[in-house]
Chain A
Amino acid sequence: MVGIVAYGAYVPYNRMDRKRIKEALGIPAAPGEKAVAGFDEDSVSMAAMAALDCINGIKPGEIDAVYLATTSTPYKEKQSATTIAMAIDAGSNVRTADFTNSLRAGSTAILAAIDAAKAGAKSVLVTTADCRMGAPQGALEQVLGDGAAAFVIGSDGVVANVVDTYSVSKEFIDNWRDNNDTFIRPWEERFTVAEGYNKIVMEAVKGIAKKTGLTPGDFAKIILYSLNPRHQMALAAAMGFQPAQIQDSLYMTVGSAGTANAPMMLAGALEEAKPGDKLLFVTYGDGSDAIIFEVTEAISSFKPVRGLKKHIESKASTMTYGTYLKLRNLVTIDKSRQVERLSPYVPAMFRNYKQNLSLYGTKCKVCGTPQYPRQRVCVNCQAKDQMEDYRFAGKKGKIATYTLDFLAPSDVPPTVLGAIDFEGGGRMICEISDCDPAALEIGMEVEMSFRRLYKVGSFSTYFWKARPIR
């Protein structure tokens, strides 16, 4: 049987209490908080982090395909799934694809992975992330949040079998962005919910119920895409589900992360699922996909590295609205006395992808010293060209020393920097992200985290930073 072999999630460390919007803009605010991607995060980096959370115990080299589903890629032309494949070190013999432009892209990618697995692919990694913006003072600004989820679909060690699927496609406009829009344009909600969300989802759910003969009572959970839990709960109730069956929409803790919203909820449901549970997974956007999963005995033998719940719990809720505006480039910052970073040289990026995206250093075959950055002559014994590849990603480290750089150009100073000593040897001097500067100390344990390092010129560049273990 084909199904989910592994699952994982990622939620940015920083959250903004919705009260901050009220304070800043003088408008009523909804309860709860929203997860906000850091200055060094985007959908690609978050999807890569979810992938690393997911492939716990799975060899990256055994992954046949890497998919990314999102409506917020850094490029219109240039794939992002390749970046994620590099971050998890999947090797080059891997099929990659971006599924974009629809909030349903997450389930589209999962369905494509299911098809690939049925056709013999051993394991297909599906990642999904979103980082979308509603304009300040609008309803979407409050309800949206950022996050990611990832799944490995395959046929060995399945933790949740695919029972059946049913898809509906509809030409329908509710929220949209054209090629130049920064913010989502919403149509009037009363129309879009009544004629779009309610009817289209209903069609998919009725369709799969009819196809399988299953009724609401047969499901442990319905995992239903939610922009606003009020509409989600009402729709689920109208379809015959009890409140206890409805998987938490993440509204209070994360916000709705677009393409990744229902997949994140699915990851959350799997964390709590018991063998035999049937899960009805329903997405929405230009139609609706419904997938029924049945949880297997193997569910207890897989755990993500951290998973959704722990990611939600690990947070800093101190973000102000001013910081939020800066992170989203919604205020112009005085950079008149800063030296603008040079746009990178593509051949230099090309030469160093293995180092910078997959975090490979080298290890001397003569003296065994791991070293970063990659060296040809050993830093310890000076042997020439006796190196083998050595991957630092996934290695724990300790802070040897650190500083807070208030002078380095940054929209959100200070830039936190440290010297990181890795277990097993090797040292790296790099940025430390997601930390409380006051809590930093020599000896603190850190882990490496994949980040969008710079957005410069028209390039988004990616690299790794240390962060306190979440």
Chain B
Amino acid sequence: MASKGIKDKVAIIGMGCTKFGELWDKSPADMLIDSAYEAIADAGIEPKDIDAYWYGTMATNISGLSVSIPLKSQYKPVSRLENMCATGSEAFRNACYAVASGAYDIAMAVGVEKLKDSGISGLDIRGILSGNDGADINITAPAGFSFIAPAYFKKYGLDPKQGKEVLARIAWKNHKNGALNPKAQFRREVPMENIMKSPMIAAPLGIMDCSGVADGSAAAIIVRAEDAKKFRSDPVYVKALTCITGPGHSGMYQDYDFTTNKETCYAAIDAYQQAGVTNPREQISMAEVHDCFTPTELILYEDLQFSERGKGWVDAMNGFFDLDGKLPVNPDGGLKSFGHPIGASGLRMLYEMYKQLQGKADKRQLENPKLGLTHNLGGLPWQSVAFVSIVGKELD
């Protein structure tokens, strides 16, 4: 296998994350300054100590100048990158590689997205997504992911009502977790009944099956693993990083049945191999996964090998992924509670893993977690980019 990974070569020594939500009074620069300075303070360093930056945003500003000008970084390299919903995670992955290579001592990954200003639900990326040949398909993200629901229900014998209940159970769990998180956009538990009766967005998905739209920013500071303890006693080590980008096969070839995300399956295999994880269901302590829509989280349980094929829904209903379950998924409340500012989400997920591993997750704190996993899925179930990271509190 050509993917060797950089297990235990780099560590996170500082992180920052803004509150996510309708931040009408914050510009993208404001959010970026807030998350970056929280990370800098957390790491106990000075802004001038940072050697290079990786900036993740899907559609909020272009170029590294969007970082260097607000932060007044002094003539340092800033790369701007985009990889759909994995954008924030990709900023992190590339910063990690730069440090692991020895090119820099200290790097920052920072992600920002300003979604609410436009006044529309989602992103205005006309002309970027399509060939603009007059035949672009009129499909929204919830519709694309709702393709999973009827296919999964039929394959595993769930009637529509049962299926809807499984999906609602996922949303219910994430909101329950989010209610405990002061940085979440939505901080209320939502009764199952309200979730199941919410207005239809992309049948069978109601609005409560969809993640919200939010503004936000998050940042991480990365150093070589051997240097980490110079900065703090409880750094978090990077065990695996991958981002699998699919060839579009699933949208063109009939063997794909819309009950899985192949890119995530491959990303999981790659990440577990890098980290030396052989039994994810037992070895992964907790995960932040891309719950953009409830059916997405459902199939991710299986694609990430937390559940057997066709059994993800059973585990979900049995509370296996609840905060007090065996493998808590989205302990911070997930995209469901935070909303999804594209460039920031991946780093926000990592922020929760980092805090949990340090024992600083307050009311959400899990008992002595060892390994945390983050996952992003960008695109549509049949053509996507899938990111997986695994981080841990100890060097192997």
Pick from B133, B134, B252 the residue with the most CB of A within 10 Å.
Answer: B134
1/0 per residue, CB under 8 A from B, across A369-411: the answer is 1011001000110000000000000000000111111111110
- B62, CB-defined interface residue at 8 Å: no
Is B127 part of the binding interface, using a Cβ–Cβ cutoff of 8 Å? Answer: yes
A197 near B: Cβ within 8 Å?
no
Q: Is the interface of A mostly helix, strand, loop or mixed?
A: mixed
A337 pairs with B150, CB closer than 8 A: no
> What band does the interface of chain A fall in when counting residues whose beta carbon is under 8 Å from B?
35 or more
* CB–CB B143/A372 < 8 A: no
A419 near B252: Cβ-Cβ < 8 Å = no
Task: Check if B138 sits within 8 Å of A409, measured CB to CB.
Answer: yes
- The reply to whether A415 and B139 form a contact with Cβ atoms under 8 Å apart is yes
Q: How far is the CB of B332 from chain A (nearest CB, A)?
A: 26
Does B131 sit within 8 A of A, measured CB to CB?
A: yes
The residue that B257 contacts in the complex, of A400, A404, A409, A415, with Cβ under 8 A, is A400
Contacts of B249 in A (CB 8 A): 379-380
**A393: min CB distance to chain B, Å:** 14
| CB pair B147 A352 closer than 8 Å | no
B135 close to A405 (CB less than 8 A) = no
Check A406–B135 contact: CB distance below 8 A: no
A403 to B205, CA, bound (A): 9
For B181-207 the 0/1 string (1 means CB < 8 A from A) is 000000000000000000011110100
In contact, A408 and B254 (Cβ under 8 angstroms): no
With A339-B124, A407-B143, A437-B203 known to touch, is A430 a contact of B137 (CB < 8 Å)? Answer: yes
CB–CB B251/A429 < 8 A? yes
Contact with A along B252-268 (1 / 0, CB 8 A): 11100110000000000
Q: A342-B127, A408-B143 are in contact. Are A356 and B133 (CB under 8 A)?
A: yes
C-alpha gap A102/B42 in the complex (Å)? 78
Is B138 in contact with A431, judged by CB distance below 8 angstroms?
Answer: yes
Question: Cβ of B132 < 8 Å from any Cβ of A?
Answer: yes
A344 x B132 contact (CB < 8 A): yes
Residues of B within 8 A of A355 (CB): 135
A24 adjacent to chain B (CB < 8 Å): no
What are the residues of chain B within 8 A of A352 when measuring CB–CB?
131, 133, 135
- Judging by beta carbons under 8 Å apart, are A337 and B146 in contact? no
Q: Is the CB of A461 within 8 A of B201?
A: no
Q: Looking at the complex, which one of B200, B254, B382 makes contact with A421 (CB distance below 8 Å)?
A: B254
Query: Is B120 part of the contact surface with A, judged by Cβ < 8 Å?
Result: yes
CA distance A349 to B135 in the complex (A): 8
Beyond the given pairs A405-B202, A407-B121, 14 more chain A to chain B contacts, judged by CB atoms under 8 angstroms and listed by A's residue number, are A337-B120, A352-B133, A356-B134, A371-B252, A379-B248, A400-B258, A403-B147, A404-B203, A407-B143, A414-B200, A417-B147, A437-B203, A442-B154, A462-B134
10 residue pairs of the A-B complex, CB under 8 angstroms, read: A337-B120, A345-B132, A348-B132, A348-B133, A355-B135, A404-B203, A405-B202, A417-B143, A437-B203, A463-B135
Interface of A toward B, CB cutoff 8 Å: 337-339, 341-342, 344-345, 348-349, 351-352, 355-356, 369, 371-372, 375, 379-380, 400-410, 414-415, 417, 419, 421, 425-427, 429-431, 437, 442, 453-454, 456, 459, 461-463
